[in-house]
Structure 1
Amino acid sequence: MGWLWLWLLSGCALAEGLPDFTGLVEQTSQAVVNISTAKKLEPEDMPQLPEGMEIPEGSPLEDLLKHFFGQQGVPQETRSLGSGFIVSADGYIVTNHHVVKNAAEIIVRLQDRREFVAKLVGSDAKSDLALLKVEAQDLPAVRIGSANNLKVGEWVVAIGSPFGFDHSVTAGIVSAKGRSLPGDNYVPFIQTDVAINPGNSGGPLFNLAGEVVGVNSQIYSRTGGFMGLSFAIPIDIALEVINQLKTQGKVIRGWLGVQIQDLTRELAESFKMSRPYGALIAQVLPNSPAAQAGLQVGDVIVEYDGQPIETSAMLPPLVGVTPVSKSVPIKVLREGRTLPLLVKIGELPEKTEESAVAQVEEDAVKIQALGLLVANPSAEERARFQVEQGVVVRRVLAGPASEAGIRAGDLLLRLGTVPIRDAADLERQLARLPKDKPVAVLVKRGEDSLYLAFKAR
């Protein structure tokens, strides 16, 4: 029985070492709110019946079909739920942009069951944040902390309304910091294993001191439910957005005017770097702050305003929060040398649509060393890409180009840092390349540019 007694003692010691969340919840939950919205769906946004099909009146299926497809051609109203938290006693509330997007009415319900109709002060899709205002005074407000002080492995707590269950409390740990997600260039997310489900969106993420350190925003899921990966917007980023929404109703972001990517081991080797780090510039936009500062394609940004850049995902959030017209020192690696530059940050413009690229094989030249059919760009393609040289990929065959991820329609602009003038020039350059060393090729794809690495055969 001695072993059983020791096991019970060790279990008690382990339990005593776990955090007690009761005091935290009691202090903070009154500032967490439930948000319900009524949204109008226009006919073009609603699910459509198959062509030629109509909902038969009086049919046993009429109610079922109207439930899924609505009254065809008539705007419908839908309702959704989310969470939020009070940031000031006079009624300012933070939530997610997607919670209140297109809402015709926003209802905020407090823990004491009081309800208010909220006004949308401002909303920002890029950060997925929104600021609401209710007409009330002396409301309980959260205490604001800082995500910069969070450590991986630290306990955190979420309070929200998953599936409409108000003030549900879940806990977990910080799994990672600075996560970059597709389509979210301006938010370095906090990753946690806190259980987050539909309805938690917009709710607060607390540290053990009871301070808000993040805004719960999204989950990674293959089923639609929680799978152990949830992401929160750092409160430091959120405050910058919220303050701009409060003062000017929109968010103005800094803009550098480059397209960047991470370096792989092969790319780092081709640029004579000891290891992959920094943000590799794949494109410098004309007349942009980067172009005016002298940044070039092939430069690797390794420091921005005194902040070391380890991955390309670190750069956009730093640029985004930089005040417009501020001059910022940066450091780049260019041909193996560190070069200091000063760039005057501009204002982020609206994104333009991507250009379509023709995929014809007329007058194509076969590049055996890469497994490509390429051609000199036509006058239309030169105008579309805004270039005077390079080669357009007409078809990708089996070989190094396919393995590197080159696609039909890509425009090849450089081998390493050497421009490609035309198809004949590409063949001459390839003939001089060593067969056992990776080489970077600059690719323009639509309006995007990126470097890819290959070994010629």
Structure 2
Amino acid sequence: MVNPRLSVTLLALAAACGRGEQANAQDPAGRAAPIAATAPAVASQLNTSRRTAIVDATARVSPSVVSIRVVSRRTVQPSLLDGFFGVPQEQTQQSFGTGFIMRADGIIVTNQHVVAGASQITVTLADGTDLEGRLLGEDPLTDIAVIKVERDDLPVPPFGRSDDLQIGEWAIAMGNPYSFLLGNSEPTVTAGVISAAGRNIVPSGAMTGRYYDMIQTDAAINPGNSGGPLVNALGQVIGVSASILSNTGESVGVGFAIPIERALRVARELVQDGSVRRAWVGLDVAGADRMNDWKSAGGVPVVAVVPDGPAARAGLQTGDVLVRANGRRLRNYLDWEAVLLDIHIGDRIDVVALSDGREASHRIVPADLPTVTAERVRLRGLDLTTLTPAIRAQLGVRSDAGATIVSVPDETTRLTGLRDGDVIVRVDYVSDRRVVQAPITSTRDLARVLDAIPRDARFRLWYERQGRYVYVDLRS
């Protein structure tokens, strides 16, 4: 996918070819060492066959790599004041990415940011065949999506493991950089090494995904590679190329892939249910503001515990310091979030925490998210629920009261910018020539206020998103 941009780093495979200094080595008597006689023979064999582990791995996986073309239509309002009922202007955008076949019956895995907002998806197989793609499901949090095409004979690559990676082992990135500008549909292959494992990328305001426990590689990953497989030297898929770190958008050789275990787990849930069922533990920990304090804190400080939530029932309290979870050392909040990202409903989290300087063990049994179990109402096409302490903790909002958006149609998001998780806190409107600023403390408040706004009148909707209060102007 062209955005987020991905990085380029090519590595020479000189290690397999011998070195001239060895061929000219001398023994103490001045005679040529035996290595000099064998080096040309080795080089000759390599030049004749040229079949390395990377060549074999490419042959195993490349037939299962696909190119993805996405057409999206973005509706733009001439003015936000026109709100829901303004005259929209439609813009068509085209973008490209990569995917790979997960099942022979047409199930394809890619990045969520590749297909975000797609109105039309075309999948091109390695042999050039174009197929219409249908989006089965997408999960922005893990940046995984699943596409279905109508075929039942597609090649499936071998899948490996990402939990036993060796730093320095070969890493092979496959994808379709710059789409069809290179003139054909066969995937591009680049090679590097596994630079690191278990990397946590600090979230930024522009990121919808959470990139924790990522595989770092210096194999060239370019714009258009998003969603493509990262492969080991055995020809096994070990990750899904997703992003880079770069201050300029240019190549710096620091690319990241989603671990294959996570990608396949999420993909299977999307195939089965169309969405991912998230686990909730009912506690909040010190975040980015404490990133530099983890050594002195000796773990991750708990700053809030939801009464009668899973963490509270496990005996955890505000002020405790989490030091390990399921055997993993916790250095900062990213380590804790990485644990939660791969937890299912019904799993157990065995936590070791410091309480008053003493270590204690706790077993947390995660539950469904409060927004899932809360009673919902529908207003103006939005699914909403009243903000509760549990939902407040889940979303990490500052507001004490409001109406939480649980689900919003894509078209409404395009028209207004409203998203799932936004908390409506106030509505401003004009009534009898005076400005009314109505606080919203519940869904009932919101329904009452919307009913009070004169027909076809403009109003301003204030909401909280990620700790910031913003507004959108609409028409009733």
Please tell me the TM-score bracket, short chain as reference. Answer: 0.5 to 0.7
Q: Does 2:99 correspond to 1:74?
A: no
Structure 2 residue ranges without an equivalent (≥5): 1-19, 26-34, 80-86, 204-208, 372-393, 401-438, 441-465, 469-476
The question of whether the paired residues in 2 share the 8 Å contact of 1:279 and 1:309 is answered with yes
- Is 1:238 the counterpart of 2:263? The answer is yes
Task: Look up the match of 1:182.
Answer: 202
Q: Which residue in the other structure is 2:397 paired with?
A: 354
Distance verdict in 2 for CA 1:343–1:80, change over 3 Å: same
Q: Cα gap change, 1:84/1:185 in structure 2, threshold over 3 Å: closer, same or farther?
A: closer
**8 Å contact from structure 1 (residues 304, 331) kept in 2:** yes
Cα distance, 1:296 vs structure 2: 1.7
**Following TM superposition, by how much is the alpha carbon of 1:36 offset from its aligned partner in structure 2, in angstroms?**
0.3
AA in 2 matched with 1:127: T
2: CA distance, partners of 1:76 / 1:268: 50
The alpha carbon displacement at 1:286 in A equals: 4.1
Q: Which amino acid aligns with 1:213?
A: I
Q: In structure 2, what is the equivalent of residue 35 of structure 1?
A: 68
Task: Give the equivalent residue in structure 2 for 1:201.
Answer: 226
Q: What is the CA-CA distance between 1:3 and the residue it aligns to? A: 6.5
1:316 aligns with 2:359: no
1:210 maps to 2:235: yes
1:69-114 deviation per Cα after TM superposition (whole angstroms, max 9, x unaligned):
xxx9520111100000001111110000010011011000011111
In structure 2, the residue matched to 1:93 is 108
Deviations 1:372-419 (A, max 9, x none): xxxxxxxxxxx99xxxxxxxxxxxxxxxxxxxxxxxxxxxxxxxxxxx
Count of aligned positions: 330
Which amino acid in the other structure matches residue 121 of structure 1?
L
Which residue matches 1:83? 98
- CA pair 185-78 structure 1, distance change in 2 beyond 3 A: closer
Which has the larger displacement, 85-94 or 333-342? 333-342
**Closer/same/farther in 2, CA of residues 119 and 153 from structure 1, 3 Å limit:** same
d(CA) in 1 for partners of 2:56, 2:338: 34
Aligned with 2:135 (options 120, 141, 151):
120
2:355 is equivalent to residue 330 of structure 1: no
Report the RMSD for the aligned CA atoms in angstroms.
Answer: 3.4
Picking from 148, 158, 167, the partner of 1:152 is 167
Amino acid at match of 2:252: M
Using the TM superposition, name which of 12-21 and 191-200 deviates more.
12-21
Q: 1:163 aligns with which of 178, 203, 207?
A: 178
Measure, in 1, the Cα distance between the counterparts of 2:131 and 2:365.
44
How far apart are 1:196 and its partner, in Å?
Answer: 0.9
**In the alignment, what sits opposite 1:341?**
362
Q: Where does structure 1 lack aligned partners over 5 or more consecutive residues? A: 50-71, 358-382, 385-444, 448-457
Please give the per-residue CA displacement for 1:238-273, whole angstroms capped at 9, x wherever unaligned. Answer: 11111111111100121212222487786654x5xx
Structure 2 CA distance for partners of 1:5 and 1:319, relative to 1, 3 Å? closer
TM superposition shift of 1:336: 1.6
Whole-Å separation in 2 of the counterparts to 1:207 and 1:251: 28
Kindly state the Cα deviation for residue 323 of structure 1 after the two structures are TM-superposed.
2.8
Compute the TM-score of the two structures, normalised by the length of structure 2: 0.62
Going from structure 1 to structure 2, the CA distance change for 1:209 and 1:128 (only over 3 Å counts) comes to same
Cα distance between partner residues in 1 of 2:359 and 2:398: 35
Deviation at 1:179, TM superposition (A): 1.2
Write the distance in 2 (CA, Å) between the matches of 1:197 and 1:304: 35
Corresponding residue number in structure 2 for 1:292: 313
Give 1:149 deviation, angstroms.
1.4
**Measured at CA, do residues 95 and 300 of structure 1 come closer, stay the same or move farther in structure 2, by a change above 3 Å?**
same
The whole-number CA distance in structure 2 between the counterparts of 1:162 and 1:219 is 14
* Contact 1:91 1:135 (8 Å CA) reproduced: yes
Contact 1:186/1:316 (<8 A) preserved: no
